[in-house]
Amino acid sequence: MERREFITLLGGAAATLPMTARAQQPGKVRRIGMLIPFSENDPEVQARLAALKQRLQDLGWTDGRNVRIDYTFTGENTERIRIGVGELVAVAPDVIVAYANPVVAALRQATRVIPIVFVQVSDPVGSGFVASLARPGGNITGFHNFETAIGGKWCETLKQIAPGVRRAAVVHNPDIAANVAFLNAAEAASASLGMTVTAVGVRAAADIEPGLSAFAREPNGGLIVAPNPINLTSRELIIASAARLGLPTIYPYRFFAQGGGLVSYGFDPIEMYRGAASYVDRILRGANPGELPVQLPTKYQLVINLKTAKALGLTVPPSLLTSADEVIE
């Protein structure tokens, strides 16, 4: 048998080891695989990865000493994600940290054995990743992004900060079940707010400007930007397009408002990555991921950019300013 064939067979055998056997290997340098559907140069991504790595070190896992961390940056392209998943599963790491719904969906098809800890995943039950939040079952657990009902809260907050908005477009990826659920929640909440909700489907960055421009042809519009890899990677384009088209917009994360977006309502992803490190630690020490409950965010932040509000001709209600966690002037 040739050496290459032997290594391939060995890797395949490791990928099918029971999770308990994979955990019980003292003295071995453990291997963590990370699959990120963003650019390696994105400062937000690097900040989150640094938080995870630091927390791992606090828990006794130092990259290059007793653990090896392999990073795979695929961008948001579906085919590159599929290839990255195949390459990562082939080397059979002890645990994989997976970022966002499209990555977890691809990993779930590729392995039911390697433990997976997800971060920033929405509706993991509805997406078929786990059996329940309390007892995920299988090889997957992690940290829940936004609950479906947040779509209604985004719609309500947009109406509060821009009362003139009568039409709201949810900028989402229709291939992500959780994004569709946010759209449905916004639609359910819109009638009582005197609004109508429509969909702007975005499967690639090239879809953003045409979709927003078409929506802006009619007056009294605003945007709800759903969390997904394309929207996060293209955040500067979305913020600039919303400003150019005069569309009040609510975003899912603070860094959108910091970058010039009107308002954001969401949680701090850094804390989620620290939590993910704690789950990786427990799995490396023998815990079964199927018995680790999926964790939800415990604190949400409302951030308002007053400079952007002024440029859009909006006067932010004092009640909203009082309830804001941060006001950017």
What is the structure's pLDDT at 299? 87
Place 298 in a pLDDT band, splitting at 50, 70 and 90: confident
Confidence of residue 26 (pLDDT cuts 50, 70, 90): low
pLDDT (0 to 100) of residue 24: 46
Residue 165 in this model has a pLDDT that exceeds 70: yes
Per-residue model confidence as pLDDT tens digits over 259-291? 999 999 999 889 999 999 999 999 999 999 999
Confidence (pLDDT) at 27: 67
**Boundaries of every domain in the chain:** 3-146+269-291, 150-266+300-328
CATH number of 3-146+269-291: 3.40.50.2300
* Contact by Cβ (8 Å): 95, 283: yes
Report which of residues 25 and 314 the model is more confident about. 314
Longest dimension (CA), the chain: 75
Average pLDDT, the chain: 91
The reply to whether 150-266+300-328 shares the fold of 3-146+269-291 is yes
Q: What is the 3-state secondary structure (H, E, C) of the chain?
A: CCHHHHHHHHHHHHHCCCHHHHHCCCCCCEEEEEEECCCCCCHHHHHHHHHHHHHHHHCCCCECCCEEEEEEECCCCHHHHHHHHHHHHHCCCCEEEEECHHHHHHHHHHCCCCCEEEEEECCCCCCCCCCCCCCCCCCEEEEECCCCCHHHHHHHHHHHHCCCCCEEEEEECCCCHHHHHHHHHHHHHHHHHCCEEEEEECCCHHHHHHHHHHHCCCCCEEEEECCCHHHHHCHHHHHHHHHHHCCCEEECCHHHHHCCCCEEEECCHHHHHHHHHHHHHHHHCCCCHHHCCCECCCCCEEEEEHHHHHHCCCCCCHHHHHHCCEEEC
Determine the pLDDT at residue 10: 37
Q: What average pLDDT score do residues 86-114 get?
A: 95
169 or 145: whose pLDDT is higher? 169
Q: How confident is the model at residue 138 (pLDDT cuts 50, 70, 90)?
A: very high
pLDDT for the residue 312 = 97
Confidence of residue 36 (pLDDT cuts 50, 70, 90): very high
Kindly give, in sequence order, each residue whose CB lies less than 8 Å from that of residue 12, ignoring residues fewer than 6 positions away.
92
| pLDDT single digits (tens) 76-85 | 888 999 999 9
Q: Per DSSP, what are the bridge partners of residue 157?
A: none
pLDDT single digits (tens) 190-236: 999 999 999 999 999 999 999 999 999 999 999 999 999 999 999 99
pLDDT at 212: 98
Q: How many percent of the chain have pLDDT more than 70?
A: 92
Fold adopted by 150-266+300-328: Rossmann fold (3.40.50)
